[in-house]
Every structure is written in C-alpha cells, then in structure tokens.
Structure 1
Amino acid sequence: MLFTDRADAGRRLAVRLEHLRDDDVVVLGLPRGGVPVAAEVAAALDAPLDVILVRKLGLPFRSELAMGAVGEGDVLVLDEDLVRRAHVGDRELAEIERRAREEIERRAESFRRGRTRTPVTGRTAVLVDDGIATGATAVAACRVARAQGAAHVVLAAPVCAPDVASWLAEEVDELVCLEAPEHFRAVGQAYADFHQVPDDVVVDLVSRRVP
C-alpha cells in the first residue's frame, strides 16, 4: 500500500509540484476521485481549484473506444481518422456529442452550483487525478485544457500504470507520477482508503478555493 488516502497522496504529490508555485497556476481535478488529491495540491501551491469536465465520445459499436472528447466552452477534440475509418456519419456523431454535452452541463451545475468555470487561457493548468489506469480520460482532459487556451499543461497523479506513462508524456508539457508499480492492476490498490467520493465533497472542496 502506497498511500493512506487521497489527501495523503495529494500532499505528497504537491511536494513534486512545488517548482510551479511562482507560475500562474490553475489546479484542475478530475471528478470525483481526483478532486481531494487536487485540493491538497492547490492548497500547497496557493492556487485556485476547479474541476475539469470532459466526456469521451465512444464509437457507436464500441463505446469503450474513444473517437474523441468534448469539454466545456464548446471544445471538441476529435480523432477524424478514426471517425472516418469507423464510418461514423455526421448525424450519428452529432447525437453522441449532444448526449455528452448534456452530461457535462449536468455535472457542471452539480459541482459548481452556478459558478462560472475558472479560465485557463494563458495559464499553467495542472490536471490532477487520483490515479491513471488506461490514460484515456486523462489524455482527453489534457487536450481539452489545451483547447481552452492553457499555455502549459501538467498532468499529475500519485500512481500510474507503467505502460501508459510514455504515451501520456507525449500529450503534456510535464508528467508527474509518484509511483508506477510493475504489477499494476487498479488505482485502488495504491490506497489503504479508496472510498467513493460523494458529489457534496467535491462541491465543498472546490468552493473553498474559488478565485
């Protein structure tokens, strides 16, 4: 067991991110589990905290395979080559995107309670999750942050599957991962306490560091 809980992991991750203290940083937690980790990082860097909301766009016949992602601010990141090879039509793609955006809007209201999204344009966006298994959601979030105007994108997690680390490093300006266990099976194996994070905890943590 590597970490006591998400707060412990966040404090230890913050030490590795201390060099960013003098940058214009926005810390973005991936809901839900990434937010308690991100909250510790934001506190240590004296930076604002927000969630980054993304939804992967799965292929119609293989929903687990992402052909792109959507994010707030009308951001659309699309693997056009995959869409073409999978013969996904414009109408079908539009419907998948519509459902994804509806879910993002629902989650934005749930987590922010009417507050506007913290802008990242021209800033250092530090994206934090409690762990990275396949890397698909993390990559989507990084691409969305970049599309939203972030000047520098940092992806940080306490634990990461070793076989995805090199792929992730190509997507970001900086990758910070404390542990990459050789026999990685799941993110939860790195924590003594890995209970589910309720929505109200996410809301409370983010509201404490509203800029």
Structure 2
Amino acid sequence: MFTDRRDAGRLLAELVADLNLADPVVYALPRGGVPVALEVARRLHAPLDLILVRKLGAPGFPEVAMGAVVDGKNAQTIVNEDVFAETGADAAGLGRARRRELAEIERRRAVYLGDRARVSPAGRVVVIVDDGLATGATAKAALAAVKRQGAARTVLAVPVAPDDVVDEMRRLADDVVVVQIPEQFWAIGQFYVDFHQLSDDETVTLLREAWAGP
C-alpha cells in the first residue's frame, strides 16, 4: 500500500532515475498524476508540464473508459474498441462525450496553466506519469500525443497497474516503469491509503511548488 500519491511518486522516482535518462521532461496526467509526477520531476531535476487528457466514459457507465481524448491543435481521440463495442456505444455518443471532455480540458488549461509557456516534447525524452493505470485509455492517448509532437523517447511511469495493461503499454512506449504489478487488481485506489480526489486548488498548489524549483 502507498501512503498517498507523493509517497508513491518517491518510490516511482527512484526506479525512473535508474534509467539514467538524458535531459528528460516530465508530463503529469492531471489531476491524480500531478503529485506523483512532482516527485519524479524533482528526483530527475526535470521540468514538469501537463498533458491534458480526459477519459471518455461509456454511456450509463461513466467510470468505464471507452476511450480518451487529448488536447492539441487537432485533438486526438483514442477509442478502446472492445469496450466501445461491449457498452453499446455509437458514434453519436462518442462525439457527445468527446465534446464534453474537450470543454473540461479547456477549463483545466485555463485554471492550471493560464498563459504559462508549455514545454515541447519535440526531440526530448518524455516521461509520462499518472497515479496508476486501469484500462490505460488515457495513457494511450498521452503517448500518441507526444509521439505526434516528435518525442525522441517515451517512458510511461506509474505506481501500479495490472499485468495485461502493462504488457499492452510496453508495445506503445519505449520504457514502462511500474512499482507494483499485482496479481489481483480491481481499482487503482485499492493500493493507496489516501486516494482522495484532488481539487483544482490542490492541483494548482502542487504545480506552483514544482515550478518554484528546489
């Protein structure tokens, strides 16, 4: 069990540091990935930025990811075809979910980043961090986004994930770093003592801490 996300981040950071990455940039998936990524970025002495990506919840089952959408000039959508088919979703439902989540992405961009200059992944070693993987939908979208923007090497780093999802991610990222790959996995939160949903205010405070430097 991790005490909280920052505890998980410190453990994860040591494993990522073992990769001896050259001049990396760390991207958090907000909100839950921010406290984890802060610890990774601090350990690597790397800049911290965000990838604004949102899960597309299945109709009637919002906690089930039928895909994800990530921000950008041409917002990229990744569809989990198996889940999409099993939940009976259609193109119209997917489109509604995409528009709704893109609106939330724009809201988060304004609140979390304001007019702050973004760190480009082009030609960089990119470390994408979240607080765990369940279906992996948001991580897939994030990886696709940074590859499209020219990342030279991609590292996906999370405290916990099921083995089948880790295997899938290893086909998408150059490196996958995971602290725990449990045999029995129901939800990310089962591996944390404190897994509260972060507020916008908490997220902004953590980002300011990271951007303030050591």
Instruction: State whether TM-score is above 0.5.
Output: yes
2-structure distance, mates of 1:87, 1:12: 41
Structure 2 length-normalised TM: 0.82
Map residues 172-211 of structure 1 onto 2, 5 A cutoff. 172-210=173-211
Q: Which residue of 2 aligns with 1:164?
A: 165
Other structure's SS at 1:163 match = helix
Map residues 1-211 of structure 1 onto 2, 5 A cutoff. 1=1, 3-56=2-55, 64=64, 66=66, 69-77=69-77, 88=91, 97-210=98-211
CA shift, 1:69, in A, is: 2.7
With over 3 angstroms needed to count, the CA separation of the structure-2 counterparts of 1:100 and 1:192, relative to structure 1, is closer
Asked whether the equivalents of residues 49 and 209 of structure 1 are also in contact (C-alpha less than 8 Å), the reply is yes
Identity level (%): 46
Unaligned runs of 5+ residues in structure 1 are none
CA shift, 1:175, in A, is: 0.6
Other structure's SS at 2:171 match = helix
Which amino acid counterpart does residue 207 of structure 1 have in structure 2? R
Other structure's SS at 1:17 match = helix
Structure 1 length-normalised TM: 0.83
1-structure distance, mates of 2:54, 2:186: 24
* CA RMSD after TM alignment: 2.8
**Count of residues paired in the alignment:** 206
Asked whether the equivalents of residues 70 and 97 of structure 1 are also in contact (C-alpha less than 8 Å), the reply is no
* Residues 5-50 of structure 1 deviation map (CA, whole Å, 9 limit, x = unaligned): 1111111111111145551211111111111010000000000111
With over 3 angstroms needed to count, the CA separation of the structure-2 counterparts of 1:20 and 1:206, relative to structure 1, is farther
* Residues 132-168 of structure 1 deviation map (CA, whole Å, 9 limit, x = unaligned): 1111111111111212221111111111012211111
2-structure distance, mates of 1:163, 1:73: 32
1-structure distance, mates of 2:3, 2:94: 42
Which amino acid counterpart does residue 164 of structure 1 have in structure 2? V
* Residues 36-89 of structure 1 deviation map (CA, whole Å, 9 limit, x = unaligned): 01000000000011121013456889975636633224342456x999xx8748
Asked whether the equivalents of residues 131 and 160 of structure 2 are also in contact (C-alpha less than 8 Å), the reply is yes
Unaligned runs of 5+ residues in structure 2 are none
Other structure's SS at 1:171 match = coil
